[in-house]
Structure 1
């Protein structure tokens, strides 16, 4: 296919992926193996290798980064992600990933979080190709394409890049893991519409102990997330929900009554796996801010 057609197809894939991620936070290998695009399907992941190079495309479409894989893929300072060459020659599967760099075609970075489960980051751009180190450098956001590994960037540029990368990588993975742990429902009201769900931090990601890990997260609908962040809703260490006293006695419409006041005294919906349930020490620290 010609380059314009390929660019349009990639955008169509990204748009369809975005709808799935908005609802579920993650995508499965089964979905990626026969990804629905209207009346057709396309494979978005290789059967066994980390780099997926469709025959009818001029460049790589997707790469997998696995924490238990043989490669040292890692986020590096300045908002870039280092992706190792596939073992063997500098050619092979690496050739089409190099073509993505040369043609500046966007790709998908699939972060593996469990067997057959991925958080897709897209569009991602290859912005560097280090033959000596056998590594590609990926920019995880279109706005970071100006970055180069080891380049001379201002403090403001580096801070901007790191903020964008933190949101695109850490927050996306955090949301995917948290929504999956809570089976895509609000821990407060059990709402199951994924597009209305966030991954709320118990301890802020700007504070000590605020790592983007599931025990520091709660799946919350947007109104309960906002109430939690504003200390209008608190959660005690025993996972009981509490509503701010002034709000509890306020008179307003049905949203206040049913959405907040009636949640007072209820117990959180918790993940099935104990290891994914809210950390009691973090809850206690956050509860102290609410009391």
Structure 2
């Protein structure tokens, strides 16, 4: 439980340091601020709890705050919906009895119907991501636009791992640092939900050893949930293009998400995708000659 307590304490301290006193509505009391952000007693006042209570919460002590108290602390710290969810997850983890042995979660599979849907989106890149940003399925256009995840060994078929460790990913994305950081922050969010997931722990360990950017961003304890947005790329075949993505949580399995990438009609990006579709079209099998008999 000590690790979980440290995770909660770290998140609250960093959120408190990032909170601007003026944005929080606090008047200037004339006191010299020796630390960035809010003081503990200021968070307590804004949340309507005692300073001692908030201090114990920030220390990850064994207290059982109500949902209303957690939401009040989240408001005091200026957390968005994703940050509020992460705070609830961390508090829940510190007070829930968990198995001492860290277990591996069951292998995720993509339903056959979903696989057919993915392949039917032939004009649009599409991916299905599971836990830990594992790429569970990718259609032909996604493999042509990003990387051929379908041919990668199972251990390497992970979006965050590819983003952080692949030289191809670094050269593909114009704003690689933004995209890679988002991937790290998505893993941070999941770590709050499943702190005992052995596969996630091993992935974090590998990335911590192999990527200095990962170590820096992970230590900042920011969280992010991808729902929609844009990606700017410089593709080795079709050059510059921008794709917009939408995320769909799958019915019947909220641990899988479908990502569909589109381009603006009439744009150079739409033309680039059309060229890429033609370039990546599998070769047709030659027709057999009719037999004489």
**TM-score (norm. length: structure 2):** 0.19
Q: Which has the higher helix share?
A: 2
Q: Which has the higher strand share?
A: 1
Structure with the greater alpha carbon radius of gyration: 2
**TM-score (norm. length: structure 1):** 0.19
Which is bigger in relative contact order (C-alpha 8 A, separation at least 6)? 2
